[in-house]
Amino acid sequence: MLEVKHLTKSFGDYCAVEDLSFQIEPGTILGLIGQNGAGKTTTFRLILNFLTADHGEIWWNGQPIGKKEYNLIGYLPEERGLYPKISIQDQLLYFAQLRGRTKKEIEPKIDEWMTRFQVKGKKTDKVKTLSKGNQQKVQLISTLIHEPKLIILDEPFSGLDPVNAELLKEGILSLKEKGSCIIFSSHNMDHVEKICDHLVMLKNGQTVLNGVVHEIRQSFGRTKLFIESDLSQSELENFAGVKEVIKKEDDSFELTLLSPEVGENIFAAATKNGYIPMFNQQPPTLEEIFKLKAGEING
């Protein structure tokens, strides 16, 4: 288990991370989100001991994280970097050996991981002969092939098309099932919402959200309403407490409500003549919550 306790880091007068605390249980995924400059990468560098914290502690399995624990970590930085003149195989073996693994342990796994990520090329090919997308896959494999117990991924989905993003997601989930602690940052809230168990949002170094993903969404109330009925757009707009009405291409409507209770009045009016095809009241999406919290003046 990874525990981050009251972590604080400043650069001169600028506080990049302020009193940050969270924990990641084995077999769970934490999403670290926030706008550019919010403190996400600084947090990763503090965990990895690339930076020294001003205050706070980082513990692994009940003890302060130390040198021997760093062989258990897989780290994918936002700025990728491979050796272009070295073969895929030699590159993967090199990075795994830096993490204390032997050639005998890793070599049999290379074909498996290249197949899993659908890398187009032979393991004897030099990295420079691969497309940009396949180079990124090799970088991801180098992060995961030694099956780390703690995985830190800084914008892992950046630049990946939907098919390859799905392959990465499956790779991450396979290590989650084996008990790894996983933390990643992303600007894609759909990825965060689909695969994360826990969420931390930073704004200007301060924590503005920290909790279980579905509980965070529920805490904002069921203020999104999707409805298909005989009610017209103007009728829906005239209900007290309706903030916005958007008409969809299929003639259904998406409403933003000022409070969840407004939905009860709309439901009563929509069903007064009986059956309606659709009435679905949901909390706001994670992307909507992100925009809301990012836009708050005081965080």
Given a contact cutoff of 8 angstroms between Cβ atoms, the answer to whether 106 and 96 are in contact is yes
Q: What is the pLDDT of residue 276?
A: 96
- Adjacency order of strands within the sheet including 150-154: 73-76, 150-154, 181-185, 29-33, 198-203, 206-212
3-state SS string over the chain?
CEEEEEEEEEECCEEEEEEEEEEECCCCEEEEECCCCCCHHHHHHHHCCCCCCCEEEEEECCEECCHHHHHHEEEECCCCCCCCCCEHHHHHHHHHHHCCCCHHHHHHHHHHHHHHCCCCCCCCCEHHHCCHHHHHHHHHHHHHCCCCCEEEEECCCCCCCHHHHHHHHHHHHHHHHCCCEEEEECCCHHHHHHHCCEEEEEECCEEEEEEEHHHHHHHCCCCEEEEECCCCHHHHHCCCCEEEEEECCCCCEEEEECCCCHHHHHHHHHCCCCCCCEEEEECCCHHHHHHHHHHCCCC
Please determine, for residue 65, whether its predicted confidence score (pLDDT) is greater than 90: no
Domains 2-217 and 221-282 share a fold: no
Residue 299 has pLDDT above 70, yes or no: no
Q: What pLDDT sits at residue 297?
A: 54
Q: What is the pLDDT of residue 239?
A: 97
| pLDDT score for 99 | 87
CATH number of 221-282: 3.30.70.980
d(CA 152, CA 47) in angstroms, rounded, equals 9
Query: What was the pLDDT predicted at 198?
Result: 96
Distance CA 107, CA 236 (A): 63
Which range scores top for mean pLDDT: 27-36, 73-82, 287-296? Answer: 27-36
Read off the tokens for 197: 């168990």
Cα(289)–Cα(166) distance, integer angstroms: 24
Mean pLDDT for the stretch of residues 111-128: 91
Structural fold of domain 2-217: Rossmann fold (3.40.50)
Q: Which helix (H) or strand (E) holds 176?
A: helix 162-177
**DSSP H/E element including 292:** helix 286-295
* Residue 208 binned pLDDT confidence (cut-offs 50, 70, 90): very high
Domain ranges across the chain? 2-217, 221-282
Q: Which pLDDT tens digit goes with each residue over 217-270?
A: 999 999 999 999 999 999 999 999 999 999 999 999 999 999 999 999 999 999
Distance between CA atoms of residues 47 and 30, nearest Å: 14
Q: Give 79 or 185, the one with higher predicted confidence.
A: 185
Neighbours of 250 (CB within 10 A): 9
Mean residue pLDDT across the chain: 92
The residue-averaged pLDDT of 171-180 equals: 90
pLDDT of residue 82: 85
pLDDT tens-digit readout, 124-167: 999 899 988 888 889 889 999 988 999 999 988 887 888 888 88
State mean pLDDT over 206-220: 94
